[in-house]
Structure 1
């Protein structure tokens, strides 16, 4: 279950809402005072230096980290899919590509549910969409980094999620794989799915992403990608990172840089409890 196990009804067509969210590990905040709205159908790049809180934010959204304060809310009924960094996945488990991609059916069929003919067709269609037709019986430990990432994208395709969260999906992939994966992401965008992607390559963000969130343990800027990645904002992010004190006390005041301020959102939230 994501975030705080509760939901909010927010501004029209909001998929995801951050309300003064702070996340961290062992009482040490890693993301401070995150406020704002991710609209349904948005394609958002999450950028920042090493240790800026990008992966922490993704884990907070899907519920792997509970908020230290504030909250993160997903619109009621939203189905989500999360793809962590490739380095966090155990590829030594004896499984075929077909098995890995079929895991995307779990939200629909359950762990022990039987797969229908339509399910198998969906899996094969997803493999074809990512360029892995004919790889069904290959063991995942024989795949290259790019092939493994393609297989994981196929699993996300099978999940048929409304909100898709990808943590550094372009690491260790070749140029052709990168282009193909960008194509899949653009396809999701064309279907009005909401996609958030942790990305290191700023030129890639400027070329392919309409929106960017720049983090330096707190939001530095959030909005149109090229404006967000201005020289001034990148300098501020670097300065925030250099000035960070791991031993500083946990601050309790909201920072000045929020998506609400940047976009003038007037968030009217009414809590609605439920589950995905």
Structure 2
């Protein structure tokens, strides 16, 4: 997923350009995401937020540019719930144990320790009693909690989450926020695609405003200005 570098940045992006069918979605993105912080990636629909996440993760091949990681552990990823095949025949426990494969390798069976870690992750998200339930039988908020538990089971040092609050109930959002802040308190780095401008100041430390190009990046208090929002969303 990139070269190792030294410094205070968990992720550095240099001159990143990504296109779909030759139409640029991201253009010449330069970006540094700080270690041990919660960063929101914010912008209008079609701005390239999810594309940026996927390009940083190596899930999409850019036309140009380089992504560099400086993390001591692994990388966890919670995709958009709409991109997941929820009809896949798997139990909740099966899905969460998949988060352990980075530690196991694909040819080894999960150990009792792996299953214990997975169960603890489910308990953290309030889903400990649902381990044997089919993932397709859960509500949207419950499914999102399970995918967050899978990421927790990875025991990563850097987490990417693509709109984890989209379509969830108030209770689930509160659970997710508390978990993310708990991970940050343990020194983890979190990068979250987010859409609710009203909660940015209370949830996040760092923000990236994007609309195909980076409009602004830095601490929330510095970057979240009316002028930057106007330039990002084209309002007024």
Q: Is the 8 A contact 1:127 1:133 kept in 2?
A: yes
Cα distance per residue 1:85-132 (max 9 Å; x no partner): 100000111110000100001101122312222111111111110000
Question: In the TM superposition, what is the alpha-carbon distance from 1:76 to its structure 2 partner?
Answer: 6.3
Question: In the TM superposition, what is the alpha-carbon distance from 1:226 to its structure 2 partner?
Answer: 3.3
| Aligned: 1:109 with 2:97 | no
| Aligned: 1:122 with 2:117 | yes
One of 38, 41, 48 as aligned partner of 1:43:
38
Report the counterpart of residue 52 of structure 1 in structure 2: 47
Greater mean deviation of Cα atoms: 156-165 or 227-236: 227-236
Report the counterpart of residue 203 of structure 1 in structure 2: 198
Q: Is the 8 A contact 2:72 2:157 kept in 1?
A: no
Q: Is the 8 A contact 1:7 1:76 kept in 2?
A: no
SS of equivalent residue, structure 2 residue 130: coil
Cα distance per residue 1:221-263 (max 9 Å; x no partner): 1111133221111111123x99xxxxxxxxxxxxxxxxxxxxx
Question: In the TM superposition, what is the alpha-carbon distance from 1:58 to its structure 2 partner?
Answer: 0.4
Q: Is the 8 A contact 1:52 1:216 kept in 2?
A: yes
One of 221, 225, 228 as aligned partner of 1:226:
221
Question: In the TM superposition, what is the alpha-carbon distance from 1:70 to its structure 2 partner?
Answer: 1.8
Say how many residue pairs are matched: 236
| Aligned: 1:170 with 2:165 | yes
TM-score of the superposed pair, with normalisation by structure 1: 0.82
Which structure's CA Rg is the greater one? 1
SS of equivalent residue, structure 1 residue 105: helix
Q: How many Å separate the matches in 1 of 2:148 and 2:88?
A: 19
Q: CA RMSD in A?
A: 1.6
Q: Is the 8 A contact 1:140 1:148 kept in 2?
A: yes
Cα distance per residue 1:42-79 (max 9 Å; x no partner): 21000000001100100101111112122111126541
| Aligned: 1:30 with 2:25 | yes
Report the counterpart of residue 75 of structure 1 in structure 2: 70
Cα distance per residue 1:8-55 (max 9 Å; x no partner): 525x13211111211222222111121132122121000000001100
One of 176, 189, 201 as aligned partner of 1:194:
189
| Aligned: 1:21 with 2:16 | yes
Question: In the TM superposition, what is the alpha-carbon distance from 1:220 to its structure 2 partner?
Answer: 0.4
Q: Is the 8 A contact 2:71 2:158 kept in 1?
A: no
Q: Which sections of structure 2, spanning at least 5 residues, go unmatched?
A: none
| Aligned: 1:160 with 2:144 | no
